[in-house]
């Protein structure tokens, strides 16, 4: 298998056969990858990665796309956004920067599984319905009469089974299976994933759609499983595809940096401000905001602060590749639409540090102000969260301004 190493938003040249080129073109949208031939060079192509990072295998090619920020940093941000664990658990990703993203995840999953399983596999009660030769639990009278026509045995019953075949273990097994199907480059990662699968041999193999990975509720009895379940859910959410077109099959693990950044900023701001998702809402939680009076053009801002039915702040989180330090006019237009539709005096664009510089614009004839902030993602997660505190203070000032609140300095 031929290895192709790429970097987020960077362009590199690679020689490809016609079959390899066609295989990449089929999955270009999924990879967020652009491909163009190099002039005067037969079989040489310029590959430019987009905002998706991770790994993919297709048509004899093993493609690795590295993020601009370090892999441990990326995974810490992504897990924090999911609520999997907080900054004190950042040690889970304390591995060599040279490791590929799937390998880093595999090693982290194995390390978390060893800690969780050291107390024995988690067991729980699962409700079962079955036809048994003896009575166990509760007899389902209606079902017995309907299915057995008055015959005494077997008996239709419902009972609670104490088993290790529960949601938490199923998620971990599914995640190990996803990683196991990939071409992990580290022997340690491959052996570790096999060990996790072996430990969960009697747990049912379940496939979870990436958009519908169920959460696990934690309490004092299963708190020691929080890390490994959080990692498993992260893996399943981003093992986003296994597709086949003709004889060519593709499988991979990809993380969209736009989504990771937006989710991290939203969750971290809620934590810093001490508000719930009903107050500081993401785009998925905003309904009924329209640009026009006829209510035909819907708007879904990434960030919005709601005091009951009234919106007091609006913003957008952007992780994109910008040339220079200028803010795209399209982003400013988008923010202007938000503040106009919601009748707010100002709005905020939040970029990742290095993508845009802090700025402020007063809109001519409208009196609206469009602010731009840059969030530095470098360093330890605790350092990033301290910078989020400064961003939260800015959000609070804009919210107070919209509400006519003056706070003591």
60 CB-near residues (< 8 Å, 6+ apart): 1, 2, 19, 20, 23
Between CA 214 and CA 332 the distance in angstroms is 36
Residue 225 carries which DSSP code? G
**Do residues 190 and 109 lie in contact, with contact meaning Cβ atoms separated by under 8 Å?**
no
Q: Return the pLDDT at 87.
A: 43
Angle of helix 101-117 relative to helix 187-199, nearest 10 degrees? Answer: 40
CA distance 50 to 355: 14
Query: Do 232 and 36 meet the contact criterion of CB atoms below 8 Å apart?
Result: no
Separate counts of helices (H) and strands (E) for the chain: 11, 17
Determine contact, residues 356/372, Cβ cutoff 8 Å: yes
User: Which segment, 129-133, 169-173, 278-282, is predicted with the most confidence on average?
Assistant: 169-173
pLDDT digits (tens, 9 = 90+) for 299-340: 999 999 999 889 999 999 998 776 555 788 999 999 999 999
pLDDT at 183: 81
At how many degrees (to 10) do helices 71-82 and 257-273 cross?
60
Residue spans of alpha helices (H) in 101-155: 101-117, 141-148
For residue 408, pLDDT over 80 is answered with no
Per-residue pLDDT tens digits for 355-399: 667 789 999 999 999 999 999 998 888 899 999 999 999 999 999
pLDDT band at 151 (very low <50, low <70, confident <90, very high): low
pLDDT tens digits, residue range 177-201? Answer: 999 888 888 899 999 999 999 999 9
- Name the percent of the chain lying above pLDDT 90: 54
Say how many CA atoms lie within 13 Å of 208 toward its Cβ. Answer: 26
**Count of beta carbons in the 10 Å neighbourhood of residue 36:** 10
Distance in angstroms (rounded) separating the CA atoms of residues 97 and 177: 24
| DSSP H or E segment with residue 193 | helix 187-199
Q: Over the stretch 234-255, which tens digit does the pLDDT of each residue have?
A: 999 887 555 444 444 556 788 9
| Phi, psi (degrees; rounded to nearest 5) at 317 | -105, 125
Q: State residue 72's pLDDT score.
A: 83
| Burial tier of 35 (Cβ tally within 10 Å: 0-12, 13-18, 19+) | middle
Q: How far apart are CA 264 and CA 66, in angstroms?
A: 19
Mean pLDDT across the stretch 279-299?
Answer: 88
Sequence-distant (6+) residues with CB within 8 A of 260 are 74, 77, 78, 81, 319
Contact between 258 and 319 (Cβ < 8 Å):
yes
Task: Tell me the residue ranges of DSSP E strands in 67-212.
Answer: 124-132, 138-139, 155-163
Mean pLDDT is lowest, of 4-18, 30-44, 92-106, for: 92-106
pTM over 0.85: no
Between strands 155-163 and 124-132, the pairing is: antiparallel
pLDDT value, residue 96: 56
Position with higher pLDDT, 98 vs 102: 102
């Amino acid at each position: 298998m031929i290895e192709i190493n790429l970097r987020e938003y960077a362009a590199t040249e690679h020689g490809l056969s016609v079959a390899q080129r066609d295989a990449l073109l089929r999955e270009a949208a999924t990879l967020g990858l652009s491909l163009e031939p190099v002039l005067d060079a037969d079989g040489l192509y310029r590959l430019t990665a987009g905002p998706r990072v991770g790994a993919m295998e297709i048509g004899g090619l093993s493609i690795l796309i590295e993020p601009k920020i370090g892999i441990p940093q990326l995974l810490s941000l992504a897990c924090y956004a999911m609520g999997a664990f907080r900054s004190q658990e950042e040690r889970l990703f304390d591995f060599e920067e040279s490791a590929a993203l799937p390998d880093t995840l595999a090693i982290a999953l194995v390390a978390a599984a060893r800690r969780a399983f050291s107390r024995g596999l988690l067991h729980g009660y699962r409700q079962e319905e079955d036809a048994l030769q003896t009575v166990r639990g509760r007899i389902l009278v209606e079902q017995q009469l309907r299915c057995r026509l008055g015959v005494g045995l077997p008996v239709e019953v419902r009972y609670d089974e104490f088993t290790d075949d529960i949601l938490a273990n199923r998620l971990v097994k599914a995640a190990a299976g996803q990683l196991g199907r990939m071409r992990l480059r580290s022997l340690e990662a491959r052996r570790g994933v096999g060990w996790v699968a072996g430990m969960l041999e009697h747990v049912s193999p379940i496939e979870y759609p990436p958009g519908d990975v169920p959460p696990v509720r934690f309490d004092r009895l299963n708190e020691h499983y929080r890390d490994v379940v959080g990692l498993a859910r992260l893996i399943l959410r981003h093992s986003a595809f296994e597709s086949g077109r003709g004889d060519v099959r593709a499988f991979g693990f990809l993380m969209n940096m736009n989504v990771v950044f937006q989710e991290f900023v939203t969750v971290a701001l809620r934590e810093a401000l001490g508000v719930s998702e009903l107050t500081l809402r993401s785009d998925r939680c905003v309904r009924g905001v329209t640009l026009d009076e006829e209510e035909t053009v819907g708007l879904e801002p990434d960030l919005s602060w709601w005091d009951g039915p009234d919106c007091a702040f609006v913003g957008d989180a952007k992780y994109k590749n910008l040339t220079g330090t200028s803010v795209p006019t399209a982003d400013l237009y988008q923010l202007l639409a938000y503040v106009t539709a919601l009748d707010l005096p100002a709005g905020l664009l939040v970029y990742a540090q290095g993508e845009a510089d802090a700025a402020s614009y007063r809109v001519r004839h409208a009196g609206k102000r469009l602010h731009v902030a840059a969030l530095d993602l470098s360093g330890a997660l605790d350092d990033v969260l301290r910078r989020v505190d400064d961003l939260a203070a800015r959000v609070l000032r804009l919210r107070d301004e919209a509400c006519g609140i003056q706070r003591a300095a």
